[in-house]
Amino acid sequence: MDHTLDRHSLAQAAPTSRTDAAVSDAADPEVRAIGLDSPWRWLRMGWRDVMRSPAPSLGLGVLVAAVGMLLTTAAWKATYVAPALLGGFLLVGPFLAIALYGLAQQLEAGQPPDLRASVRGLQAHAGSIAMLGLMLALAYILWERSAAILFAFYYQGQAIKLSQLLSELMAGQYLALGLMFLASGALAAAVVFALTVVSAPLLVDRPVDVVTAAMTSLRCCRRNALPLLVWAAIIAALTLLGFLTAMLGLIFVFPLLAHASWHAYRDMVERGN
């Protein structure tokens, strides 16, 4: 009788053990080392994916560029909005690209690209994705408020136009203001990059919580510091290129970086069981 109970108890415990193993696998994704040339390969693969799904990929690029143009128009009249514009694309970009990660996942599986199906597929991980969005929104608000305080400190509450600020900076005035903006913006971007370099693709791909995703990103940065420094510089340079083309370049830059980021995630994070 006791042996029967023991076998019955073991049979009940087995599924629990398998479940615990699955949760452990999801909770602690393994991180791989990559080469210094990996970022350039991600760009090539990302562009290939854009060409394989031009309508949805470039369509989202058009949407992002249009929003950027509207924000630029606002920033031209209200200069304190300019840092929010610049920081917004870098800080919130990983969240905006989530739909494109779903497209990249479809292409990887040999499926036809379907943006609606990609968005519907996000519902399974909606809670964790929403928490990521909240985290990025808080980072964005903190950066915007910091920028507004810096402007208020240097301009004593005066209302100036973006064109005036740019001309004064080019003339060497308010150099300290420009340096402080660069320093604070770089710090905010570095923190967000370290926490999100693979977070959003991981949340789309696997059932993990946002803390696990962020910690996985940090482990990727720790193990691949130099390649990811190159990747961060590429992201910043291409985003700046998008700004310098009156946002039109973002039509191509945004989907390119999104698809390339999916391949970065695949390169650095082992697949789950």
Predicted confidence at residue 3, as pLDDT, reads: 45
Contact 101, 196 (CB under 8 A): no
In whole angstroms, what separates CA 235 from the centre of its chain? 10
pLDDT of residue 10: 37
What's the confidence (pLDDT) of residue 23? 39
CA angle 40, 43, 48 (to 5 degrees): 135
The domain segmentation of the chain, as residue ranges, is 57-268
- pLDDT value, residue 261: 96
Please name which of 168, 191, 197, 177 lies closest in space to residue 266, comparing C-alpha atoms.
Answer: 197
The whole-number pLDDT of residue 250 equals 92
What pLDDT is stored for residue 226 in this prediction? 97
pLDDT computed for residue 244 by the predictor: 87
Range 7-33 burial, b when 16+ CB lie within 10 A, else e: eeeeeeeeeeeeeeeeeebbeebebee
CB distance 259 to 58 below 8 Å: no
Q: What is the pLDDT of residue 265?
A: 97
Q: Using CB atoms within 10 A of its CB, is residue 201 exposed (0-12), middle (13-18) or buried (19+)?
A: buried
Alpha-carbon distances of 233 from 187, 190, 230, 243, rounded to whole Å: 14, 11, 5, 15
Q: Specify the pLDDT at position 73.
A: 76
Are the C-beta atoms of 144 and 208 separated by less than 8 Å?
no
What local confidence, expressed as pLDDT, does residue 217 receive?
96
User: What pTM does this model have?
Assistant: 0.81
- HSE of 84, CA atoms in CB hemisphere, 13 A: 23
As given in the structure block, the two tokens for residue 5 are 């109970």
Residue 269, classed as helix, strand or coil, is strand
pLDDT of residue 210: 92
So what's the pLDDT on residue 22?
42
The pLDDT, as a whole number, for residue 119 is 83
Q: Which stretches in the chain have pLDDT values below 50? A: 1-26
In a 10 Å sphere around its CB, with 0-12 CB exposed, 13-18 middle and 19+ buried, how is residue 260 labelled? Answer: buried
